[in-house]
Amino acid sequence: MITLISYSFLQSYWWIIISLLGALLVFLMFVQGGQSMIFSLPANEKQKTILVNALGRKWEFTFTTLVTFGGAFFASFPLFYASSFGGAYWVWIAILFSFIIQAIAYEYRSKPANVFGRKTFDIFLYLNGALGPFLIGTEVATFFTGSQFSLDYMNHVKWANQWHGLEALLDARNVALGLAVLFLVKCNASMFIINSVSDEDLTDRSVRKLIINSVAFLVFFLFFVVSLFVSKGYAVDEVTGNVVMEKFKYLSNLIQMPVVLILFLAGVAGVLYGLITTIFNGSRKGIWFSGAGTILTVFSLFLIAGFNGTAFYPSSFDLRSSLTIRNASSSLFTLKTMMYVSFIIPFVILYIWYAWRAISREKITEEELSEEGHVY
């Protein structure tokens, strides 16, 4: 049966896997959301230690998912990897740098004889928390708004300006999604702290932060979604492969793919319910509703960007250079081999779930940290 699987099916299969990994990454970036509040959420050093250690027990999940997402994207759609990383390299360098200093910070923040002091590594955590989600959100927005590149007959990328990706910051839609992602992960971080920490004052402060960040998230998210659905999109002729601008393309995608529409609406509803039940009902379980909603919403946005005859990495400079899941994918042999490897993903998810439960069985307290040998 495996031998009968078509090339087209494998291309679609791997876009779904990429979309799922991207959605999981955005949810797990609640770690970055918490780091971005390291100087504003805790009232004192005791609370800062609790915050950093609550996040420190989860940061490797986020980092591993980021690496897996990047590796899977490279293996399944190498032309995107070459075009984006080879052209918009300033953005990707900034993203990678922010995650490198995060790993350094967690490793050395509380080491004996730390010559730089904790404040230096706290700044590292803050920079990763603020820049990482914002830049990733901004770069993902270019899946809808386009990037200024062209490809020659050898698929060598040429950028149309000297900014190499930073020009994305000049488009309000890109900035809006970047800020929406940043404030979303801040919201999820607040709900995670409320769920995971046994410190009444810190949880009260988290609720107050949640109110402010949720308003900001909704403003920027609504701006992006409305502007996306009323703007032109990059449509692909499935027969000729030509890319043309089509009015209301992404809204049409949502309507023409009812399953994706249901996932999108369910995701938005999940995020809203998580926010409402935490703020107004004092629930500690809001993170799970918002987390599931985050995954469904981001997953559906990726599907809108790549399916239904749409260029997932369009070129606003040269429409002919736009990338689709058809012209940017690996060979049939590579995609089929990777499909076998992808069968272990459910076991990896089960392991993550098991490890998460094992290290989150008890809420974090000051007394526990004072007794524990390893403190971030």
User: What DSSP string runs through 145-178?
Assistant: H-B-EEE-TT--EEESSSSTTGGGGGSHHHHHHH
Burial bucket for residue 239 (CB in 10 Å: 0-12, 13-18, 19+): exposed
**What distance in Å separates the CA atoms of residue 256 and residue 303, rounded to the nearest whole number?**
12
pLDDT for position 328: 93
Give pLDDT tens digits for 315-342.
Answer: 999 999 999 999 999 999 999 999 998 8
Give pLDDT tens digits for 256-297.
Answer: 999 999 999 999 999 999 999 999 999 999 999 999 999 999
**Is residue 198 within 8 Å of residue 125, measured between CB atoms?**
no
Using DSSP bridges, classify how beta strands 157-159 and 149-151 pair: parallel, antiparallel or unpaired. antiparallel
State the chain's maximal CA–CA distance in angstroms: 66
Every domain of the chain and the residues it spans: 2-371
Q: What percent of the chain lies above the pLDDT cut of 90?
A: 76
User: Tokens 């492969």 label which residue?
Assistant: 241
- Measured over the CA atoms of residue 87, residue 90, residue 93 and residue 95, the dihedral's sign is negative
pLDDT for position 1: 46
> Which stretch of DSSP H or E encloses residue 245?
strand 243-247
- Helix, strand, coil percentages (3-state) for the chain, rounded to 5, are 70, 5, 25
pLDDT for position 361: 74
Give pLDDT tens digits for 145-170.
Answer: 999 999 998 888 999 999 998 999 99
Give pTM, 2 decimals.
0.94
Closest CA to 231 of 211, 251, 253: 251
Give pLDDT tens digits for 68-120.
Answer: 999 999 999 999 989 998 889 999 999 999 999 999 999 888 887 778 888 99
User: Tokens 């607040």 label which residue?
Assistant: 190
Q: SS3 for 232?
A: strand
pLDDT for position 25: 95
Give pLDDT tens digits for 3-20.
Answer: 568 999 999 999 999 999
Q: What is the mean pLDDT of the chain?
A: 92
**What distance in Å separates the CA atoms of residue 85 and residue 159, rounded to the nearest whole number?**
11
Interior CA angle at 192 toward 53 and 210, to 5°? Answer: 115
> Which stretch of DSSP H or E encloses residue 236?
strand 232-236
